[in-house]
Structure 1
Amino acid sequence: MGSGIFQGAVAAGAALLVDQITKAVVVANAAVLSTGLPVFPGFNLIYLRNDGVTFGLLGGAPWWSLVIMALAICVWLAVLLARTTCRVEALAYGAIIGGALGNVMDRTRHRAVTDFLDFYIGSTHWPAFNMADVFVVGGVGLLLAAPWLGEKLQTGS
């Protein structure tokens, strides 16, 4: 097993673990968080269940269809992970896979994902999200930066 695959697997495992631990804490404190818990101006912790995907898109779709779609994407990303020679890309693929699997676990158990991070300005709220979403978006951002980062890391600049 190449170091890139190992690095991607560790990233996936870490993302999945962080996601599941944070969601377990939120679910255990659902009564307190259901109305929102202010942390600082512009940020609340809240307990929500989202049966859709990003921004509530595909809300109302059968939960199992979203699980199948996410698993298919994870398989595709795992193939890309196995083929990459770039450690930055491996880390990114792993983060995305781990985040996606975290939301798959939620959909399988609860038929929806647990969202709890609520950012806002005034009365305008960004759609609530969770750590799985953070890892997916962060992984995509890392993939976009990989050509530049990979070059910098290889040249030692």
Structure 2
Amino acid sequence: MTTQDDTTTTTPRGSRRKAWSLFGAVAVVVIGIDLAVKEWTTSVIAHGEPVKLLGGLIYVIYARNSGAAFSMFSDFTWVFPIIATVVVTWLLVMLRTTVSVPWVIALALVFGGAVGNLGDRIFRAPKPLHGHVVDMFSFLDDHAGHFPVFNIADSALTVGVALAILLEFTGRRRDGTRAAKGELARSNSFGDGPSGRVGKDTGDA
């Protein structure tokens, strides 16, 4: 006999397929755009002048970053491929129990951003697993004087994490349910499997 908790905690096969399809589509778009912009930057901007966009709000420049997102921890290049691999694996494990469309998008953005920069770490100079990430966007000037230079992958990571935090605080769970009115979003939505406790069912919330 199937109980209410069983129907809540079991992810339907069709929903899993849809989640994987959406995840793959978003991740491929992020990775593709990131790679295309990086290749354009290295082939055009690296040998020319910075490009001014939006009246000078953003400049496209050429920069190489040995650190993490936004040029942090540049002395620990070798650590980042390991961290990125762990993150990518963790996201794929979480996706197995995720059917909520906003959560799938959030996970895909983080995955695409992590893979985009991981590719640079593995394949770009100076050597495998120590590669420097190509960055290109600078706010307000052409030398990153106001904000660390960043790329498409960094942007996807940031948006994905922000979306995940918003979903957590608004009580939207990865299994497609929502926290009951007045109930705080549970911390295991992002780290553990979907909660067995029944909240307001929203389907692909």
TM-score by length of 2: 0.66
* Counterpart selection for 1:120 from 127, 133, 140: 140
- In the alignment, the residues of structure 1 paired with residue 34 and residue 203 of structure 2 have an alpha-carbon distance, to the nearest angstrom, of 34
Aligned with 2:61: secondary structure?
strand
What do the CA deviations read for 1:57-82 (whole angstroms, capped 9, x no partner)? 2202143x211110111101111112
Pick from 36, 44, 52 the counterpart of residue 21 of structure 1.
Answer: 36
Give the Cα separation in 2 of the matches to 1:32 and 1:149.
48
Q: Tell me the distance in 1 between the aligned counterparts of 2:58 and 2:166.
A: 28
Match for 1:139: what amino acid? G
Q: Which amino acid aligns with 2:87?
A: I
Kindly indicate whether the alpha-carbon contact (under 8 Å) linking 2:136 and 2:150 is maintained by their aligned counterparts in 1. Answer: yes
Shift of 1:37: 2.8
1:83 to 79, 97, 101: 97
Equivalence for 2:198: none
1:143: how far off?
1.2
Structure 1 vs Structure 2 CA RMSD: 2.4
User: Following TM superposition, by how much is the alpha carbon of 1:124 offset from its aligned partner in structure 2, in angstroms?
Assistant: 4.2
Unmatched segments (≥5 aa) in structure 1 = none
More helix by share: 1
CA distance 1:132–1:149, shift in 2 (3 Å): farther
Structure 2 stretches lacking a partner, 5+ long = 1-15, 125-130, 173-177, 179-201
1:31 is aligned, of 24, 47, 65, to 47
Q: Tell me how far 1:140 sits from its aligned partner.
A: 1.0
CA distance in 1, matches of 2:171, 2:30: 21
Instruction: Please state whether the residue corresponding to 1:83 is helix, strand or coil.
Output: coil
Q: How does 1:1-157 map to 2 (within 5 A)?
A: 1-29=16-44, 30-33=46-49, 36-39=50-53, 40-63=55-78, 65-110=79-124, 111-120=131-140, 124-146=145-167, 148=170, 154=202
Number of residue equivalences: 151
SS of the aligned residue for 1:127 comes to: coil
Pick 1 or 2: higher relative contact order, CA cutoff 8 A, min separation 6: 1
Say which SS state the counterpart of residue 122 (structure 2) adopts: helix
CA distance in 1, matches of 2:77, 2:63: 18
What's the CA shift for 1:155? Answer: 8.3
Does the CA-based 8 Å contact 1:7-1:91 persist in structure 2? yes
Aligned-residue sequence identity (percent) comes to 25
- C-alpha distance in structure 1 between counterparts of 2:167 and 2:20, whole Å: 16
| TM-score (normalised: structure 1) | 0.85
1:11 Cα deviation (Å)?
Answer: 1.1
Q: Which moved more, 1:2-11 or 1:70-79?
A: 2-11
Q: Max radius of gyration: which structure?
A: 2
